[in-house]
Amino acid sequence: MTKNANSLDQRTFNKLSRLYVIALSTIALSVIISQFLVRNHLETQKSDSTVINIAGRQRMLSQKLTKEIVSLSVSSNEKARLLFKNKIKKTLYLWELSHNSLQKGNDSLGLPKQNSTEVKNKFKVINPVFKTIQKASKSIVKKLDKNALIPIENLAPEINEVTNNEGSFLLIMDEIVNQYDLEADEKVVWLRKLEFFLMGFTLLILLVELLFIFWPTAKSVKATLTELLIAEKKAKKMAFDADLLSIAKEKSMKELKTLSHAMDETLLFARISPKGNLIHMGNKFSRLFKLSKFTKEVLFWNVLSSNNNEQIALELLIDKNKKTGWQGEVKATTKAGKDIWLEMSIIPYRPTEDKLELLIIGSEITDRKAAQLEIERLTKASFEEKMSQQKIISSKIIENQEKEQNRIAKDVHDGIGQMLTGLKYNLESINTKDIEKTNSKIEHLKELTANIIKGVRTATFNLTPPELSDHGIVPAINKLTQELGRLTGKEIVLYNKTDFNQRLDSLVEINIYRITQEAINNAIKYANSSHILVSLSHSKNILSINIDDDGKGFEPSKVKKVKNGDGGMGMTFMKERIKYIDGRLFLNSELGKGTRVTLNIPI
């Protein structure tokens, strides 16, 4: 019965989860649509102020033109006439340009190409007046070009044409300016109505979700609490049963101690912490490695070997397999310098729920291993076959890594529910009676939605890019440098010295991309660099890639000794990948002088 109830609760939970996702997706979609509509409308209003300003300036230009033409009447010398002629030509040119641009549009002035029907009709009325003033002004300029000292009587008809039509032009231009201003106000009113509509629509969605999602959820929680009370009664009964089990446990502990003593005497047996500290070592193990007493600070790999390289190898082996377990052969060296080979198993187990230990069980295979090494030394063909198999295994590992990263990408996308929960709580906090705060909340929700989208893009960026499979290694690295530069704010530049654009084997391209990505990420995370240069060059047989940074640098000789952290493991992965594609990797760095990573790949 309990199993059926749990199954029913799980189905209810899954159904509610789907409803939550649908509800939150609807809210997110409404916010995105409202953002699109508002921004689209604002885009249409962007040029309104410019249009009104230039239309208003036309009135000033017409008055200025008239004033300059009338001023000719009081100018008697040639120098003054020429000065006024140049002013008239300049004002006339600006007046004509603005008048035509208001009707036909002008990108440099920021004027749109479309006007309303009312504005077009008013321009049809004003155009004859404009052309009359324009024609008279050009005639005056033309006569002055021929004779700067022409009698004013010869210019009187054109001057009269300008002064007689200037008033009409100003009146109609005032109407056009007023019409532009009226249309701008109408757009603002329409935008205000749109925002109120979107706000009402969002609140309606919230009301529907309250009635059909959140209220049923509250009922479900109440039912769950009832089941918990029932479970409490069952727990009391289980406590009584636990007392009976305690007696059986004491008996089992005695048996376990007896078994432990037998293991100490017959097997190479030890217990260590996940960090490698020795907790217990069996008698046979202690006799083999001459260990009589030890403290909790003694590390297991220091007991098994006095050789520094072997200690590091054992440390990495235990750290890598402390959660999954491991079985295989390891080499040890006693204090007397004798080489010993062990067939060893690492078994993780929990003596208590909150404590993890590792069981080490081994057997000595020194003689067998010596014979095996001698056979391998004498059998070259067998050695080559083993290396070929290792290469196939490495290839499979890399292919599986790429598949796993693609799976992680899907999980990241499916995992945005937690971020959307924050969006839900913000929506729940909206007070429908306070319109001012509601508008502020809606703006905050828009920003929060944009941050969610940005977070998903950032989380999925480091996965395999489509540029790599579609276009090749150079476009993929170019996209990598651009995106990392944008996301981190650092200056990351790609320089293709020899314009390399060849396509390589897909696995070769994947490994080149991953090594370059790791090198750039190391420069970003650990080097504190501000400038990173990725340069490519190639010859007939070699592709060379350099990753230079201006960071704090380090001592390369110490990288292999790093016990924890991405730096040491990242360098190990880079070396494994470059080895797989038959390339070479060089690392040069000095403290305070930056770092250079060089890749040479045969093509």
What is the largest distance, in Å, between two alpha-carbon atoms of the chain? 134
pLDDT tens digits for range 449-461: 877 776 666 556 5
pLDDT at 286: 80
Instruction: Tally the C-alpha atoms within 13 A of residue 553's C-alpha that lie toward its C-beta.
Output: 11
Residue 500 · residue 545 · CB < 8 Å: no
pLDDT bin (cut points 50, 70, 90) of residue 564 is very low
pLDDT at 562: 42
Bridge pairing between strands 326-333 and 595-602:
unpaired
Backbone φ/ψ region at 333: left (φ over 0), alpha (ψ -120 to 50), beta: beta
Interval 402-410 mean pLDDT: 58
Residue 174 and residue 169: Cα distance in Å, rounded?
9
pLDDT at 497: 94
* First-to-final CA distance of the chain: 67
> Which residues lie below 8 Å from residue 14, measured CB to CB, with a gap of 6+?
none
Higher pLDDT, 13 or 71: 71
pLDDT at 361: 86
pLDDT at 538: 95
Residue 492 · residue 534 · CB < 8 Å: yes
Residue 575 and residue 583: Cα distance in Å, rounded?
9
pLDDT at 493: 95
What is the helix (H) or strand (E) element at residue 358, kind and residue range?
strand 355-364
Does the structure show a pLDDT above 70 at 569?
no
pLDDT at 51: 80
Higher pLDDT, 400 or 20: 20
pLDDT bin (cut points 50, 70, 90) of residue 578 is very high
Bridge pairing between strands 542-549 and 584-589:
unpaired
pLDDT at 547: 96
pLDDT at 516: 94
Does the structure show a pLDDT above 90 at 595?
yes
> Which residues lie below 8 Å from residue 206, measured CB to CB, with a gap of 6+?
27, 427, 428, 430
Interval 260-288 mean pLDDT: 77
pLDDT tens digits for range 328-344: 888 888 887 888 888 88
Does the structure show a pLDDT above 60 at 533?
yes
Q: What is the DSSP string of 57-73?
A: HHHHHHHHHHHHHHGGG
Q: What are phi and psi of 543, to 5 degrees?
A: -105, 125
CA nearest to 553, candidates 521, 580, 527, 585: 527
Does the structure show a pLDDT above 80 at 580?
yes
Mean pLDDT score across all residues of the chain: 80
User: Tokens for 127?
Assistant: 């155009």
pLDDT tens digits for range 133-156: 889 888 888 888 888 778 888 888
Residue 9 · residue 217 · CB < 8 Å: no
User: Tokens for 487?
Assistant: 């996301």
The number of angstroms, rounded, from the C-alpha of 468 to the middle of its chain's C-alpha atoms is 18
> Which residues lie below 8 Å from residue 98, measured CB to CB, with a gap of 6+?
54, 57, 58, 61, 109
CA nearest to 57, candidates 19, 20, 111, 3: 111
Residue 30 and residue 38: Cα distance in Å, rounded?
12
Lowest mean pLDDT, pick from 73-77, 196-200, 219-223: 73-77
pLDDT tens digits for range 281-292: 887 778 877 777
Distances from the Cα of 356 to the Cα of 299, 319, 324, 327, 421, angstroms = 16, 13, 12, 18, 34
Interval 19-33 mean pLDDT: 73
Distances from the Cα of 57 to the Cα of 50, 61, 137, 138, 322, angstroms = 10, 6, 18, 20, 80
Interval 390-416 mean pLDDT: 59
pLDDT tens digits for range 461-508: 556 677 888 889 999 999 999 988 988 889 999 999 999 999 999 889
Select the highest-mean-pLDDT range: 299-313, 403-417, 490-504. 490-504
pLDDT at 5: 45
Interval 115-142 mean pLDDT: 88
Q: Which amino acid is at 444?
A: H
Interval 363-392 mean pLDDT: 74
pLDDT bin (cut points 50, 70, 90) of residue 596 is very high
Number of helices (H) and strands (E), helices first, in the chain? Answer: 17, 10
Interval 193-221 mean pLDDT: 81
∠ CA 48-53-56, nearest 5°, is: 125
